Amino acid sequence: MRIQNNQQQTPWINRKDQFRMLMMVAALGFVLFAIKIVAKPGFWDWVFVGQQQQSKSIEKKPLEKKRNLSVKLKEPAPLPPGVFRSPSPKEKNDVKKDSFYSKARFSIPSKLLKDVKDDQLSIQGTEIHAYYTILAKVRDLPVDDVQKAAKKNIPFDSLIIDAAQHRGKLIHLKGKARRILPFDAGSNQEGIQQLYELWIFTKESSKDPLHIICTELPEGIPTGEKIKPVDVTVCGYFFKREGYKSKNGLRITPLILAKSPQWHQPVATAISEKNRTTYYLLGGVIAGILFVCLIVWRSRLGDKQFDKKFREQDAENGQAAVATLKENVEYTSLDEMFQKIKEEE
């Protein structure tokens, strides 16, 4: 009895499997290349942009050589009999010209502020002269000098309660501006054509804004009725306790006249050419990983399909072998076998 085996040999080396193996080897090579690239410390500079800029800004200064500060005075030559030296008249150097600490440089005359009244809506007619005069003064002062002369850490409640005491004094404020709007300055003798109002919130003021009037704005600062909070520092003259209309009725707030707010911009996120290349490489790595995952998924799917097909074919071959056995082998039932035994007895 011969049983025919119709089972085909497993096609492990067909062209499809060879292509799959080649793609897996290529994917493995790409992964190794990507690991080599991302292992370099410079590849991750784009993640730490702020720290990188800060480290660049801090440069080590060379140590200065020790300077000899000793002074050797020459003794005056002896004078003839009857002659004496008269000291030169003392120069008035108690206050340097244009000194930073000169009070006249930053002070506002009390006569100018006598008509300024608190708890009034907007600027009154009697306050216009003082209003534009102070704006012109702070406009012409250097911003750095104003920042040095301004008094810091003044409580918000003190500006409200002791408005008369702070009037005409330079104060320093830091907070978040949520409204920045330009407006026409109106007619004045100081040559001011454009003004800007800022409403800022400090930690102490909480939900109560401070009203700031400036003659300039930093380039690029956002403006609008409702803007995303902008971190600013303002140094200017306290003018008065001003009234304003709000959703909850009439309220009061300090009115500050300043030159320009200092805008604390967030860390620049502009993509440099180096960072652009890094993004491309990172995108390539991610694409490569997804490609490898796709190949593995397709390979496993193909293996499952091949295994299923192989099992079905094996089952068909087994059924064919059983049918061949039935055809070529004589089969005797139990009844026939017992009948034959009885006849032989």
Show me where the domains of the chain are located: 103-263
- pLDDT by residue (tens digit) across 131-162? 999 999 999 999 889 999 999 989 999 999 99
In this prediction, residues 55-77 reach a mean pLDDT of 49
pLDDT score for 332: 66
What pLDDT sits at residue 240? 94
The SS3 assignment for 222 reads coil
Residue 71 has a pLDDT of: 42
The answer to whether 222 and 178 are in contact (CB under 8 A) is no
Is 224 in contact with 179 (CB distance < 8 Å)? yes
Kindly tell me the burial class for residue 61, based on how many C-beta atoms sit within 10 Å of its own C-beta (0-12, 13-18, 19 or more).
exposed
pLDDT in tens, 89-119: 544 444 444 444 456 788 899 999 999 999 9
Separation of CA 313 from chain center: 63
**106 contacts 170 by C-beta, under 8 angstroms:** yes
* pLDDT digits 0-9 by tens, 11-53: 556 667 777 777 778 878 887 887 877 777 766 666 555 555 5
Q: Which helix (H) or strand (E) holds 243?
A: strand 230-246
- Is the confidence at residue 233, as pLDDT, over 80? yes
281-305: pLDDT as tens digits: 777 778 878 887 887 777 777 767 7
> pLDDT per residue over 263-279, tens digit each?
998 765 444 555 667 77
Rounded Cα distance between 240 and 117, Å, is 7
Mean pLDDT across the chain: 78
- Concatenated DSSP letters of 101-140: T-HHHH---TTTTTT--SSEES--GGGHHHHHHHHHHHHH
Instruction: Write down the H helix ranges in the chain.
Output: 15-38, 49-57, 103-106, 128-140, 143-149, 156-161, 163-166, 273-328, 334-344
pLDDT at res. 202: 92
Tokens representing residue 175 in the block: 């907070």
